[in-house]
A and B are shown apart, each in its own frame.
Chain A
Amino acid sequence: MTRAGLILAVCGLALAVPAGVFGEGPALAGGWLAAMVFCLGLSLGALGLGHIHALTGGRWGERLQPPLRALAMGLPVALLLSLPLVLVPGALFPWTAPAETLPEVVRAKLPYLNLPFLYARAALCAVAWLILALRFATGARGGAESVVSLIVLALTVSVFDIDWLMAPEPEFYSTIHPLIAMATMMTGALAAGLIALDRRGLETERKDDLGKLAFGFLLLWAYLHYMQWLIVWSSDLPHEIHWYLDRARHGWGWLLGAGLVLNIGAGVALAWRSVRLRRFGAVAALLLAGQGADVAWRVLPAMPGPGWAQAGAAALALGLWLAALGLLRRREARHA
């Protein structure tokens, strides 16, 4: 894991350095943000899944707990790696421009969209998540804590989604948007957990159950996306439909297509019993890749280009995160 992460990071660096040299620095911020949203999302999704299981019980979650804990432990790493983003708000948020240059609607939002308040919210979320992750990693503490944790997660993830995924396009707003982020986080975390479980070997019955569960989460994710698309498409309001137009033009349609192929492929494979059971790890990887593509598709088109520079920064951040996670795990193994 460490080696794979380092290789990825080096490849990313090979793209990112020229980007920086040729004055495409702002593009790096977008790529970095996408990677961080994905990595943070895996940890947050793991927290969500773990606490839901603590409340509902069921055999599906017992085997899943260790990989979920490991993912949750990745949270401090991801937070640490996100710090550079705080330094380049101008590249991420158009509303940092002088107020008189902004459209009237955006000016009306400035009491919320301003850097001091944004940083305060981010810090609050980070602290809450650190507490949640540390407590989760050291074992479950019963229903009451899980309830509180889930409520805190729902609220903080909503704030996070609005601040870092929606605010880059300040004229756009959609009330279902944070729920889509939650669904991606949990689906991605489940997929990552399943990959880890498959490496350690898993009995057929569990594979069957967990595969169905992953299918259920994928359906939930697809449902939320479809509802937002249907409503925005039907109304065709300028401040909404541009979210989709921007994500279908300038080559981003290819990313959308790739995400659709990956996720639909994962869905078909998960619904198909024999494929689900025989190629369990591969199907889970497909699902994770699909959810990753979805994160990239939601984040990147709002950011300054070009795409290759964004990809470089994303690969660098993802690689560093993977490598750090691998080191953490190795240290833990040595302690155990």
Chain B
Amino acid sequence: MTADPRPALMAAFPDEHALCAAARALAGRPGMDAFTPYPVEGLAETLGMRRTRLPLAMLAGGMAGAVFVYALILYSVTIAYPINVGGRGLNAWPAYLMLAFEGGILGAALAGGFGLFRANGLPQLHDPVFATPGFTFARGGGFWLLVPLGGDTADALRARLTDLGGERVEEVPQ
């Protein structure tokens, strides 16, 4: 995922409610994004995000981990080196379930963790958003909305954003 090359404006809002209201007002425009110091519920849906498939990826990762571990165990105890332990069958599932469980957890966690970074396109050390005048992730209270120009002129969009309560409107450098 690379940065959106379309020219765009960023507007800072005083709080999350103003930001959400503005996002709702502009909803439907392609390529919008918002930047907040902490997660704001429902904002991503307003901006047109589809339901994330990461939970499914984690489920798949968990299944894969558990199946892989159990298959490895089965291979090693029935094919690679069958050993009789205490007269129990080679497939001693009460014991192996424990390891399959750990494998499942590990698989799901790795799928979730790496999937998260991948879906978010991180690492993305350089991004046009960082160079926007006034933008910083640091000072709490920075609630920014990024709107691509689309068909509008920069001035029209700037006026619209100011109307919606944007305290500061900046151009995103290309």
Contact between chain A and chain B defined by CB under 8 Å = yes
Question: Which A residues fall within an 8 A CB radius of B?
Answer: 226, 229-230, 233-234, 236
Q: At the interface, yes or no: B5 with Cβ under 8 Å from chain A?
A: no
Instruction: List residues of chain A with CB within 8 A of the CB of B97.
Output: 226
B86 touches A230 (CB 8 A): no
Instruction: List residues of chain A with CB within 8 A of the CB of B95.
Output: 230, 234
Question: Which B residues fall within an 8 A CB radius of A?
Answer: 86, 94-95, 97-98
Give A236 to B98 CA distance when docked, in angstroms: 18
Which residue of chain A has its CB nearest to the CB of B93? A233
A236 touches B86 (CB 8 A): yes
- Distance (whole angstroms) from the CB of B92 to the closest CB of chain A: 9
Summarize B's interface: helix, strand, loop or mixed: helix
Q: Can you give 9 contacting A-B residue pairs, CB < 8 Å?
A: A226-B97, A229-B94, A230-B94, A230-B95, A230-B98, A233-B94, A234-B94, A234-B95, A236-B86
Which residue of chain B has its CB nearest to the CB of A235? B86
Give A224 to B15 CA distance when docked, in angstroms: 49
Instruction: List residues of chain B with CB within 8 A of the CB of A226.
Output: 97
- Distance (whole angstroms) from the CB of A285 to the closest CB of chain B: 27
Since A226-B97, A230-B98 are in contact, a sample of 7 more A-B pairs with Cβ atoms closer than 8 Å, ordered by chain A residue number, is A229-B94, A230-B94, A230-B95, A233-B94, A234-B94, A234-B95, A236-B86
- Distance (whole angstroms) from the CB of A244 to the closest CB of chain B: 11
Give A215 to B130 CA distance when docked, in angstroms: 45
- Distance (whole angstroms) from the CB of A22 to the closest CB of chain B: 40
- Distance (whole angstroms) from the CB of B134 to the closest CB of chain A: 40
Instruction: List residues of chain B with CB within 8 A of the CB of A234.
Output: 94-95
- Distance (whole angstroms) from the CB of B99 to the closest CB of chain A: 12
Instruction: List residues of chain B with CB within 8 A of the CB of A233.
Output: 94
Which residue of chain A has its CB nearest to the CB of B97? A226
Give A37 to B94 CA distance when docked, in angstroms: 28
Which residue of chain B has its CB nearest to the CB of A236? B86
Instruction: List residues of chain B with CB within 8 A of the CB of A236.
Output: 86
Q: What 4 pairs across the A-B complex have the smallest Cβ distances?
A: A233-B94, A230-B94, A229-B94, A236-B86
Which residue of chain A has its CB nearest to the CB of B101? A226
Give A230 to B95 CA distance when docked, in angstroms: 7
Give A230 to B96 CA distance when docked, in angstroms: 10
Instruction: List residues of chain A with CB within 8 A of the CB of B86.
Output: 236
Give A271 to B95 CA distance when docked, in angstroms: 25
Give A236 to B97 CA distance when docked, in angstroms: 18
Give A233 to B98 CA distance when docked, in angstroms: 14
- Distance (whole angstroms) from the CB of B7 to the closest CB of chain A: 42
Instruction: List residues of chain A with CB within 8 A of the CB of B98.
Output: 230
- Distance (whole angstroms) from the CB of A3 to the closest CB of chain B: 44
Give A147 to B94 CA distance when docked, in angstroms: 37
Give A230 to B86 CA distance when docked, in angstroms: 14
Give A229 to B98 CA distance when docked, in angstroms: 12
Give A286 to B86 CA distance when docked, in angstroms: 38
Give A230 to B98 CA distance when docked, in angstroms: 10
Instruction: List residues of chain B with CB within 8 A of the CB of A230.
Output: 94-95, 98
Give A298 to B86 CA distance when docked, in angstroms: 27
Which residue of chain A has its CB nearest to the CB of B86? A236
Give A276 to B47 CA distance when docked, in angstroms: 30
Give A230 to B94 CA distance when docked, in angstroms: 6
- Distance (whole angstroms) from the CB of A173 to the closest CB of chain B: 20
- Distance (whole angstroms) from the CB of A224 to the closest CB of chain B: 15
Give A230 to B97 CA distance when docked, in angstroms: 10
- Distance (whole angstroms) from the CB of B53 to the closest CB of chain A: 16
Give A234 to B95 CA distance when docked, in angstroms: 8
Give A234 to B97 CA distance when docked, in angstroms: 13
- Distance (whole angstroms) from the CB of A238 to the closest CB of chain B: 14
Give A234 to B94 CA distance when docked, in angstroms: 9
